[in-house]
């Protein structure tokens, strides 16, 4: 067993209270050499150690602006890759648990997207007529694919601006991997549902006819987030029957039906801001991950507000949950020891191409 693996095993046995003390001590030792960024879905015991929190767009910007030698990213793998691409080469990007992935991001891979591009190319002039748009929830090689083909990245908070930018240049969009963000955003821009077709990546030509492809304005990859699939229109109907004055807010990764029944649809940052800014006494039904909703509820309850989780079933993002105090203590103490572990380093050529697509996104964002 290597020294590193031995050390991780040692940390895995620690209880949360011990980790708390060790994390604090390591932070003091590192001072401003380290910055800890965290996504809103992080569990409480990790969240409290973050210097900055945000949605995917905000965290991307923070990574690009940080001066710290070490950026410890409490989130999932694709977010850490983006932070690595946008930070300086002399900064080290650390993901406390390398197994913290994103099941939606895994629903698209380079081989399948390249096959889709080739197959679409038999029906359309893809390079001039189809804009590849990848949700930030995707691997770096898919961002690089977009970079190579004049395409762009989007997040849940700038999707509308990115689609406007895309349609200003090309007639159609290939959107991956989340069909729901694509459909919900396209519909709110006035694109009829029948002009948004779903590309089944396991079938030849996405399971579509050539005519369906020619008629479509958006071709939506058949990916989804399993956490946000847990929310259903019936949950909203039940809430509205019980609380007619209540408000409903959902993340755009939720289904079309859930988003259509919601009063507000927006990114994690938008959800938090909207509930915080609402009138005292407002009751909200919230369709996004449980850690965020529970924390928000604790924050706003003093004003008589309620933030209620949309599903009767507990559904956390299990990969976000992988970042625990044990892994955080381990990576921080490894930095103190001068032996960084769990570095995320996107290969230079891939990073440069992905950066082109990310820079287009940042330029197109408000
Ligand atoms: P946000 O960009 O809204 O934080 O969303 C990221 C995500 O993975 C939601 O499931
Ligand atoms: Fe991925 Fe869904 Fe988790 Fe967001 S909530 S990181 S989309 S699996």
**Residue whose C-alpha is closest to residue 272's, from 304, 246, 299:** 299
Q: Is ligand 2 within 6 A of the CB of residue 285?
A: no
The reply to whether ligand 2 has any atom less than 6 angstroms from the CB of 290 is: no
Tell me how far the alpha carbon of residue 317 lies from the centroid of ligand 2, in angstroms: 6
Contact indicator for 217, 172 with CB cutoff of 8 Å: yes
Closest atom of ligand 1 to CA, residue 54 = 4
* Ligand 1 atom 6 nearest Cα: 56
- Asked if residue 268 has its Cβ within 6 Å of ligand 1, the reply is yes
CB-based contacts of 339, cutoff 8 Å, min separation 6: 4
Nearest ligand to residue 136 Cα:
1
Domains in the chain, please, with CATH? Answer: 3-100+319-346 (3.40.50.10800), 105-225 (3.40.50.10800), 228-309 (3.40.50.10800)
What are the residue ranges in the chain where pLDDT is below 50? 1-2
9: CA distance to ligand 1 center in Å?
Answer: 31
Nearest CA to ligand 2 atom 3: 317
Residue of the CA atom closest to atom 7 of ligand 2: 225
The Cα 239–Cα 233 span in angstroms is 10
The set of residues, in sequence order, having a beta carbon less than 8 Å from that of 246 and lying 6+ positions away, is: 239, 240, 282, 283, 284, 285
**Residue 277 phi, psi (nearest 5):** -85, -5
* Radius of gyration over every alpha carbon of the chain, rounded to an integer in angstroms: 21
Q: Which pLDDT score is estimated for 7?
A: 78
Query: Beta-strand (E) ranges in 142-298?
Result: 152-154, 172-176, 196-199, 218-221, 247-250, 264-265, 283-287
Distance CA 115, CA 302 (A): 53
Would the pTM count as exceeding 0.85?
yes
- What the block records as the tokens of 122 is 């038999």
Tracing tokens 């050529």 back to the chain, one arrives at 349
75 Cβ neighbours under 8 A, 6+ residues apart: 37, 38, 39, 41, 42, 59, 95, 100, 320, 323
> Which pLDDT belongs to residue 5?
57
The number of beta carbons lying within 10 Å of the beta carbon of residue 249 is: 23
In this prediction, residue 6 carries a pLDDT of 61
């Amino acid at each position: 067993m290597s020294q590193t693996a031995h050390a991780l095993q040692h940390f895995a046995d620690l209880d949360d209270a011990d980790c708390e003390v060790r994390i604090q001590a390591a932070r003091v030792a590192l001072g401003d050499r380290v910055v800890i960024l965290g996504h809103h879905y992080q569990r409480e015991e990790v969240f409290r150690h973050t210097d900055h929190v945000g949605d995917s767009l905000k965290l991307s910007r923070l990574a690009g602006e940080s001066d710290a030698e070490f950026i410890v990213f409490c989130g999932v793998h694709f977010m850490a890759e983006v932070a690595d691409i946008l930070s300086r080469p002399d900064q080290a990007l650390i993901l406390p648990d390398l197994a913290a992935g994103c099941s939606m991001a895994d629903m698209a891979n380079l081989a399948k997207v390249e096959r889709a591009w080739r197959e679409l190319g038999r029906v359309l002039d893809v390079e001039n007529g189809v804009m590849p748009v990848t949700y930030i929830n995707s691997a770096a090689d898919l961002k690089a694919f977009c970079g190579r083909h004049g395409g762009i990245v989007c997040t849940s908070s700038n999707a509308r601006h990115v689609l406007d930018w895309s349609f200003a240049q090309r007639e159609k969009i290939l959107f991956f991997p989340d069909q729901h963000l694509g459909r919900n955003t396209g519909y709110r821009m006035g694109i009829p549902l029948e002009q948004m077709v779903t590309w089944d990546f396991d079938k030849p030509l996405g399971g579509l006819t050539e005519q369906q492809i020619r008629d479509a304005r958006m071709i939506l990859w058949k990916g989804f987030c399993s956490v946000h699939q847990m929310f259903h229109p019936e949950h909203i109907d039940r809430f509205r029957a019980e609380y007619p004055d209540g408000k409903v807010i959902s993340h755009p990764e939720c289904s079309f039906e859930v988003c259509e029944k919601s009063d507000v649809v927006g990114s994690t940052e938008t959800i938090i801001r909207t509930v915080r800014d609402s009138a005292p006494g407002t009751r909200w039904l919230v369709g996004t991950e449980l850690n965020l909703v529970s924390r928000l509820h604790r924050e706003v309850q003093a004003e008589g507000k309620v933030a209620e989780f949309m599903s009767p079933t507990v559904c956390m993002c299990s990969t976000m949950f992988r970042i625990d105090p044990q892994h955080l203590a381990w990576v921080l103490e490894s930095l103190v020891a001068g032996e960084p572990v769990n570095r995320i380093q996107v290969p230079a050529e891939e990073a440069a191409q992905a950066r082109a697509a990310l820079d287009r996104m940042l330029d197109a964002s408000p």
